[in-house]
Structure 1
């Protein structure tokens, strides 16, 4: 028999604080796999370098306020500015940005005016004060997004992808004469190595040792009675 979800929804235990979410992201945790250092399933796009949901709602409001503090903006301009902050790895949808702007306006942290067919938002005095009270948090969020953006940009360059995600003239062709699963494993390994760009030297040494052990095992001669012809 299907269970009825609790009245307030199924995610009562999910972290609600923007600062909690930010600290989890810094550790590489996710609600699905705490401490795993991996993004939650479904958060990567088709090219493996985009993140569907990178920040909590509270953090996103602070990011938007910080962008409005630079200059008045409309919704699409904010989306593009956040994309630029993260080298295209995070692009909040209009369905996320416009409710955020409405929330900020209703909270008195932003004002809105219509120019032609566009609604332009600007930070209010109360919004400036709120942003000032959360300076340290905002700096941490922006630093987190910047680091992720730089790592993803490096990974894209390593994979030979351009700004739009298209490959250059060095395509990653399959190795002939092997089963498809082996090429799948090779691509997965390549992506795993790219994910370590920017990690600590200790972590990179750990990964190097794993790779060298794998190479040694792959090159080891297989006993004759184990050969499957």
Structure 2
């Protein structure tokens, strides 16, 4: 009898799940990829890292090391940019007057400046999406860790999703797969349905609704 249950029966080992989701760490590289690599080949580039740092600093002033640790904590250890990436980014933000700096001995504490808040506000949707990706990856990493340790995983798993949520996500994927050969008119119909569903999920009103 199996010691634990996996959310998806396609994979029976966490390493296989990580490989399948493009999340296996590269050998010899920094944790999370030296170039900021995240899932499925998508990356956090230099500008993304700047925005993430601004978002964290907007919550409270912090030292560079604290920001590195916070990014690692939010992704459960998967995304931990090196000091060689973070400190130049902080220096650049200081040069742009988007953060202010206060020296505490040999350490610098960074606070958000009005210019930095304006930049965050202009990129709010993108920033929120990146932070959500960090949370999502962190939950998946926790699920993989628990499965690897042989711990019992309930129906909701590490992500905290209900059985109904998991089944609905799976049903949507299957429905889209079955319409893979849809003509243009059918694709437009499906797109309209997905836009309405997306707007309802995030609580936004669709034009004309």
- Return the TM-score normalized by structure 1: 0.51
CA contact (8 A) 1:45 1:51 kept: no
2:142 is matched with: 153
Cα separation, 2, equivalents of 1:102 and 1:151: 32
| Secondary structure at 2:111 match in 1 | strand
Q: Provide the aligned length of Structure 1 versus Structure 2.
A: 132
| Secondary structure at 2:62 match in 1 | coil
Which contiguous aligned blocks of 4+ residues in structure 1 show a shift greater than 4 angstroms? 202-205
Rg (Cα) greater in structure:
1
Cα separation, 2, equivalents of 1:90 and 1:146: 11
CA contact (8 A) 2:98 2:116 kept: yes
From 35, 38, 55, the counterpart of 2:22: 38
Q: RMSD of aligned C-alpha atoms?
A: 3.1
Deviation at residue 51 of structure 1 after TM alignment:
2.1
| Secondary structure at 2:120 match in 1 | helix
Cα separation, 2, equivalents of 1:203 and 1:87: 28
From 60, 75, 93, the counterpart of 2:49: 60
Given the alignment of the two structures, is residue 201 of structure 1 paired with residue 170 of structure 2, yes or no? yes
1:51 is matched with: 32
| Secondary structure at 2:77 match in 1 | coil
Unmatched segments (≥5 aa) in structure 1: 1-35, 162-167, 169-197, 206-229
- Higher relative contact order (Cα pairs below 8 Å, separated by 6+ residues): 2
Cα separation, 1, equivalents of 2:53 and 2:128: 13
2:185 is matched with: none
| Secondary structure at 1:80 match in 2 | helix
Unmatched segments (≥5 aa) in structure 2: 1-19, 38-43, 152-160, 175-209
- Return the TM-score normalized by structure 2: 0.56
> Which structure 2 residues correspond to residues 1-229 of structure 1 after superposition, within 5 A?
38-39=22-23, 43-44=25-26, 50-52=31-33, 53-54=36-37, 55-160=44-149, 200-201=169-170
CA contact (8 A) 2:32 2:81 kept: no
Cα separation, 1, equivalents of 2:128 and 2:21: 22
Deviation at residue 62 of structure 1 after TM alignment:
0.6
Cα separation, 2, equivalents of 1:92 and 1:130: 22
| Secondary structure at 2:101 match in 1 | strand
1:20 is matched with: none
Deviation at residue 45 of structure 1 after TM alignment:
5.6
